[in-house]
Structure formats: C-alpha cells, structure tokens
C-alpha cells in the first residue's frame, strides 16, 4: 500500500441499532462472529494460517510477478475444493464460494511485495535479495484464504456467492484497474478489503465513512534549455532558473487555488541538473506527486501542473515536457467508503472485536488502488491492527524493519467471512423463496 503516515485514532462512541439495510445485527450477528472467530482461533486452523503466511513471506514477488504466490493460493484453494479462475490480469486469481448465483459479494486481497531488503532477522526472513513483504500483503492473502476456508464450511448456507479476489500489482502499478478491465468483478454488487496497520494494536479495527485515502499521481518534468558557460549567461537559456520558478509556483496551487476544506498536496521529490559549477546545463529533470481527497481535485491539479510548468518554461525561453505516467504508473483515484456499506462492516466489526475496539481514523493522504473498485461499486476499506504492543520500537509499513503480529490472522479471516455472510443474509434469496 502506497502510504506511510502514522494514523491518529479516535474511539467511536457506538450506539446499538437493529436491522439495517446491510444485514443482521444483535444476537444473530454476534453469534455468527463469535463462531467464526472461535473456529479461526482453533490451534489447527491458526497453525495453518501461520504456515501459509510464513511461506508467502519467505518468497515475496513484485507486481505482476506473483507466480509462486499464485501457485500457493491455487494449491490451498484446490485442497479446500474451491473453484477459481486464473490467470486474470497476468497473475490474478478469482475464486467463488457459495450458490454460484447472485448476489455476488467481493472480498479482495493484494499479493505483491516491495523492492526492499528485509532487515528483520527471523526464521522466515525473505529468501529473495532486495524483496520483502513490507506492506503486509502476505498477511492479506493469508486472511483471505482463512476466510475462504470458513466460508467453504458454510457454502450450503450462503444466500449468494462470495468472490475471492486475489489481486496483483497494488504497489504503484494499479493492479485493481487491470483486474476490473479483465472482468474480474463484473456483476459483483459490493466489495470489501482489509489492510493491516501497525499503528493500531492487534484486536482493533479502524476506518471512516466517505473519503479515507487520497487519489495520487506522479509526474516527471524535463526542461530543455541551452547550455553555455556561466560567465556568458546571455548566450544560454537557463533550465535551472525555469525549473526553480516552476517548483516555487507549484507550491501556490494548493494554497491559492484549492478549496481549503478538502485536503490536497503537491510534492517535489527529486531534481537533477548539471554537475559543473561553472556550466549552465542543457536540461533539468524534476518530479514528484500530487494528491487530493477528491477525484475532481486530482484532475484539476494535473491540468494546472502542466499549465504552470509550460508557462514558466516559456517565460525563461525554454521548453518543457511533462509525463504523468498515465499508462505505466496509472494515477490512483481517491478511496471513498460507501457510507451504507461502511455502516454494515462497522456493525460486523463490533461483533468480532467489540464496540470499544472499533475506531474511527482520520483521512490520510496516502493512496491505495482499492480505489478503482470503490469507483466502480459500493466498497468499504478498513484497517486492522497488527501491532503487539509489547514489541518496541514500532516500524510502519514500507519499512525494512516491519514486524506484524500474527495474532491478527484469525481475526482478519473471521472478519472477512462475517462481513460476506451477513451481507448475503440480507441481500440474498433463500431456498424457500427461490
């Protein structure tokens, strides 16, 4: 997941409610959640979850290279007797549990690792040099496989079909977009995903209705000037000057042009020019990211970034080329939780971990490609705590020192399954009705 910021959390004051649009509550839901969680915590089940997670962790694979991971997933699905389709979007897998008829409800896990060298010394350290599951996607896959096992045990009672979406390429490469283009979630009515977060202790779950993560895009700029000696500036066209004014002007976009009630940010991450102190370089290259909590804001920023840079280049007698990586590193939309589905998932979470352990978290300017699903259908994205508070210091995601508490595995598996079952209980058609 492409975000690193720590999250400040505020406990939700929860109010008991009865039946809602998105499924049962009260004793029936509590009983379901308790049964699923107890099943996932059984020693044999929990040991299996840990074996699966550790195997995936040992063999991390980058975006659209998740071949070994995919083989492991398919082997586990085969052993459970669950049908699946593969390959989808190169390395993706979609499995089905239930009646095979509508409604279809989706559960998604991302599979890819990061190009990071693991620095944690333990028995199951990454065996691939320079690659690590530093964002918890190994845990995501394992929790979804755990949910698959729980759901398969109840397959004859499901009032519809659960689609298990194992997605490649979340880290920068928009795997969710490519899964959608390949038809992986056609006719899926709604979708849910979990992401581990070590800023929260194990046994807690957090999210918020509406916007939760920003839309994000990258850009790279090359400004072309005319090289020459620093003693004869009048014979040059200085791209350093043009780049400098461009970068300063970009900082005014958010403060002067964007609605302050909606978060937006433009960040410059690198700049490269010449190496000689007495020579004006021919070109300057710089780049960064821009982010917005609205898709409209993201589109506006892209338009204005291009206009500002081209205008500054012209003023300084240079030319500018801007690349927004719209195909190679496709921009991510904002992640927006459907408010009704959010309420359903929150209610399920209260039954799984208790009302006091359901938290509301602030919006975060990081990005996540689950947003592509959220722009297609009702979606809910929740964070699940995975930090053993006895372990210090705490390292966040995308850190080579990341350690995840495996006690999160049965909680996440049960939570996934409970969300799907209770959704179908409300939206599905019973055998008597059919």
Residues written for the chain:
434
User: Are 199 and 277 contained in the same domain?
Assistant: no
**Could you report the per-residue pLDDT of 114-161, keeping only the tens digit for each?**
999 999 999 999 999 999 999 999 999 999 999 999 999 999 999 999
User: Are 75 and 207 contained in the same domain?
Assistant: yes
**Could you report the per-residue pLDDT of 184-199, keeping only the tens digit for each?**
999 999 999 999 999 9
Mean pLDDT of 414-421: 98
CATH number of the domain that residue 249 is part of: 3.30.70.360
Average pLDDT, the chain: 93
Mean pLDDT of 353-377: 97
User: Are 59 and 17 contained in the same domain?
Assistant: yes
User: Are 312 and 378 contained in the same domain?
Assistant: no
Handedness of CA 185, 191, 196, 199 (dihedral sign): positive
**Number of domains into which the chain is organized:** 2
**Could you report the per-residue pLDDT of 254-282, keeping only the tens digit for each?**
999 999 999 999 999 999 999 999 999 99
Mean pLDDT of 36-54: 98
17 vs 53, residue with greater confidence: 53
Residue 25's pLDDT is 56
Task: Domain of residue 150: give its range.
Answer: 10-211+334-427
Task: Kindly tell me if the per-residue pLDDT of 429 is higher than 70.
Answer: no
Q: Are strands 205-207 and 379-387 parallel, antiparallel or unpaired?
A: antiparallel
Q: Are strands 83-88 and 358-360 parallel, antiparallel or unpaired?
A: unpaired
User: Are 355 and 298 contained in the same domain?
Assistant: no
pLDDT bucket at 6, cuts 50 / 70 / 90: very low
Last residue of a domain, one of 274, 295, 323: 323
**Could you report the per-residue pLDDT of 344-364, keeping only the tens digit for each?**
999 999 999 999 999 999 999
Residue 252's pLDDT is 95
User: Could you write out the three-class secondary structure of the chain?
Assistant: CECCCCCCCEECCCCCCCCECCECCCHHHHHHHHHHHHHHCCHHHHHHHHHHHHHHHHCCCCCCCCHHHHHHHHHHHHHHCCEEEEEECCCEEEEEEECCCCCEEEEEEECCCECCCCCCCCCCCCCCCCCECCCCHHHHHHHHHHHHHHHHHCHHHCCCEEEEEEECCCCCCCHHHHHHHCCCCCCEEEEEEEEEEEEEECCCEEECCEEEECEEEEEEEEEECECEEHHHHHHCECHHHHHHHHHHHHHHHHHHHCCCCCCEEEEEEEEECCCCCCEECCEEEEEEEEEECCHHHHHHHHHHHHHHHHHHHHHCCCEEEEECCCCCCCCECCEEECHHHHHHHHHHHHHHHCHHHEEECCCECCECCCHHHHCCCCEEEEEEEEECCCCCCCCCCCCCCCCCCCCHHHHHHHHHHHHHHHHHHHHCCCCCCC
pLDDT bucket at 26, cuts 50 / 70 / 90: low
User: Are 245 and 308 contained in the same domain?
Assistant: yes
Q: Is the pTM of this model over 0.75?
A: yes
Q: Is residue 2 assigned to a domain?
A: no
User: Are 129 and 185 contained in the same domain?
Assistant: yes
Task: Kindly tell me if the per-residue pLDDT of 224 is higher than 90.
Answer: yes
How far apart CA 89 and CA 169 sit, in angstroms, is: 9
User: Are 247 and 111 contained in the same domain?
Assistant: no
């Amino acid at each position: 997941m492409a975000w690193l910021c720590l999250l400040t959390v505020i406990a939700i004051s929860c109010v008991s409610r009865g039946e809602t649009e998105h499924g049962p509550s009260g004793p029936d839901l509590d009983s379901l959640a308790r049964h699923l969680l107890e099943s996932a915590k059984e020693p044999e089940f929990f040991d299996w979850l840990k074996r699966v997670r550790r195997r995936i962790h040992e063999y991390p694979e980058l975006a659209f290279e998740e071949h070994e991971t995919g083989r492991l997933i398919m082997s586990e699905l085969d052993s459970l007797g669950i049908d699946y389709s593969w390959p989808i979007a190169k390395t993706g897998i979609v499995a089905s549990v239930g009646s095979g008829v509508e409604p279809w409800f989706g559960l998604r896990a991302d599979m890819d690792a990061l190009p990071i060298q693991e620095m944690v010394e333990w028995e199951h350290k990454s065996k691939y040099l320079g690659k690590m599951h530093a964002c918890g996607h190994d845990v995501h896959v394992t929790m979804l496989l755990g949910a698959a096992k729980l759901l398969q045990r109840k397959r004859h009672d499901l009032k519809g079909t659960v689609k298990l979406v194992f997605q490649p390429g979340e880290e920068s490469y928009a795997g969710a977009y490519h899964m959608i283009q390949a038809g992986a979630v056609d006719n899926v009515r709604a979708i849910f995903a979990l992401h581990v977060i070590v800023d929260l202790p194990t046994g807690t779950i957090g999210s918020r209705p509406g916007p939760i993560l920003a839309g994000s895009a990258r850009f790279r700029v090359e400004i072309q000037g005319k090289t020459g000696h620093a003693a004869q500036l009048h014979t040059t066209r200085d791209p350093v000057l043009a780049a400098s004014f461009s970068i300063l002007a970009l900082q005014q976009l958010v403060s002067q042009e964007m609605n302050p009630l909606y978060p937006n940010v433009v960040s410059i991450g690198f700049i490269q020019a010449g190496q000689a102190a007495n020579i004006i370089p021919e070109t300057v290259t710089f780049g960064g990211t821009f982010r917005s909590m609205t898709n409209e804001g993201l589109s506006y920023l892209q338009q204005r970034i291009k206009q500002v840079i081209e205008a500054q280049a012209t003023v300084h007698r240079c030319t500018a080329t801007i690349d927004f990586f719209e195909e190679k590193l496709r921009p991510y939309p904002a992640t927006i939780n459907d408010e009704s589905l959010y309420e359903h998932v929150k209610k399920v979470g209260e039954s799984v971990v208790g009302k006091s352990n359901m938290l509301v978290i602030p919006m975060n300017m990081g990005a996540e490609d689950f947003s592509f699903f959220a722009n297609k259908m009702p979606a809910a994205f929740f964070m699940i705590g995975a930090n053993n508070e006895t372990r210090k210091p705490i390292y966040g995601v995308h850190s080579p020192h990341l350690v995840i508490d495996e006690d999160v595995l049965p909680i996440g598996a049960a939570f996934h399954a409970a969300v799907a079952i209770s959704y179908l209980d409300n939206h599905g058609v019973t055998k008597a009705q059919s």
